[in-house]
Structure 1
């Protein structure tokens, strides 16, 4: 997997999210997120950044209040800056409260500050897709991961290199769902063990990613497609009928596993 500088990528995606909030209508609906509109999405990501900064410091966060918030871009900018500053100041290998430790005995906990570098990058990536898609702006090769793992401006990469780097970031996002988020869902008994062994096969990747927890002898279902599409599928943003996704096996069973929720 391409090396990713998660903090550098986080800073870039936060700036893109902030820029988009400044021109987006807060009342724009986001149908795939239920009754949410852009306003709720911006407040949510701001709160998550504020909460994650406290988790990295092993502290309870100071409540931001219920709102409504008059200055949505200002709120987001403040919380995004708090998160970046916190993660930059702390030793990445220092102990932190982290989702990987939920439901794990204290003596076996392994969470560090570094966990939040990656988790908040992917949180921002998915919600940037939500925001851009809701307002009709594509989230494509418009400043994506470069070969050294940092994000680059529009003209810094050729289209082929930028597409490959963009896919590397989405592949990392998919990997986090398979190795962190879904196992946590199982550990906390929020979802039942999957009735089938779901295998994600990203186009161009060296290896597949398989969900854990299926019973011995369970049917295997392979879902193939671009890493971005598979990550958005795992996060509940796309369905199996989305363009570019191919299902090899029982489609209805695959849909049932996905509908149970791979992520919170």
Structure 2
């Protein structure tokens, strides 16, 4: 099974929604399903059906199923797919030249998910080494740290823009962000594959 990677053709919200719905319906000890059939079947016209399928699969948040971190419940996928959709909505806003706006709590949790789930998974899967330095991330919702070891820099800004930074949609040079400390070290850490 390959994880649905952003750079892959067809790795779109409609494919990811179908894949997450199938995963939420799987037995909790099952392996994550192969994503190839979902990518191959994804069409623009199929998005409303994919979203409806995902909503139906997540209707019982306590249903046991696999997650990216092991056995869990369908509610885990609600958080993951909310953030997946948020990042793509922010992508669309950026493409249209619109402000990167989002519910502050959702955007802050999107940042938290990268730190508590996605980046540790990237290390666990061998996609990146555990960082031996750290960058402090500050949004109006609070402060968190990416990496281990000494804090070499701080990046602060609106939570939606920090989320875009962590999902490699923008860089520390983004004028909506403020970077203090070792800018080069921050840029190096943030350029690593901390998300798929």
Aligned alpha-carbon RMSD (Å): 2.5
Q: Contact 2:100–2:160 at 8 Å: present in 1 too?
A: no
Partner in structure 1 of residue 164 of structure 2:
232
**Partner Cα distance (1:79, 1:188) in 2:** 28
- Normalized per residue, the structure richer in strand is 2
Taking a change above 3 Å as real, the CA distance of residues 128 and 83 of structure 1, as seen in their structure-2 partners, is same
Bigger CA radius of gyration: 1
Q: Normalised by the size of structure 2, how large is the TM-score? A: 0.83
Once superposed, which parts of structure 1, at least 4 consecutive aligned residues long, lie more than 3 Å away?
59-62
- CA positional deviation for 1:95: 1.8
Partner in structure 2 of residue 208 of structure 1:
143
Partner in structure 2 of residue 258 of structure 1:
190
Partner in structure 2 of residue 100 of structure 1:
69
Q: Contact 2:64–2:73 at 8 Å: present in 1 too?
A: yes
Partner in structure 1 of residue 76 of structure 2:
115
Q: Does 2:98 correspond to 1:138? A: yes
Partner in structure 1 of residue 30 of structure 2:
none
Q: Does 2:50 correspond to 1:79? A: yes
Other structure's SS at 1:66 match = helix
Partner in structure 1 of residue 104 of structure 2:
167
Taking a change above 3 Å as real, the CA distance of residues 196 and 84 of structure 1, as seen in their structure-2 partners, is same
**Partner Cα distance (1:65, 1:127) in 2:** 16
List runs of 5+ in structure 1 lacking aligned partners.
1-32, 102-108, 145-165
Q: Contact 2:87–2:164 at 8 Å: present in 1 too?
A: yes
Q: Does 2:40 correspond to 1:66? A: yes
- CA positional deviation for 1:228: 1.2
1:223 paired residue among 137, 155, 170: 155
- CA positional deviation for 1:261: 1.7
1:241 paired residue among 167, 173, 176: 173
List runs of 5+ in structure 2 lacking aligned partners.
1-5, 28-32
- CA positional deviation for 1:130: 1.6
Q: Normalised by the size of structure 1, how large is the TM-score? A: 0.63
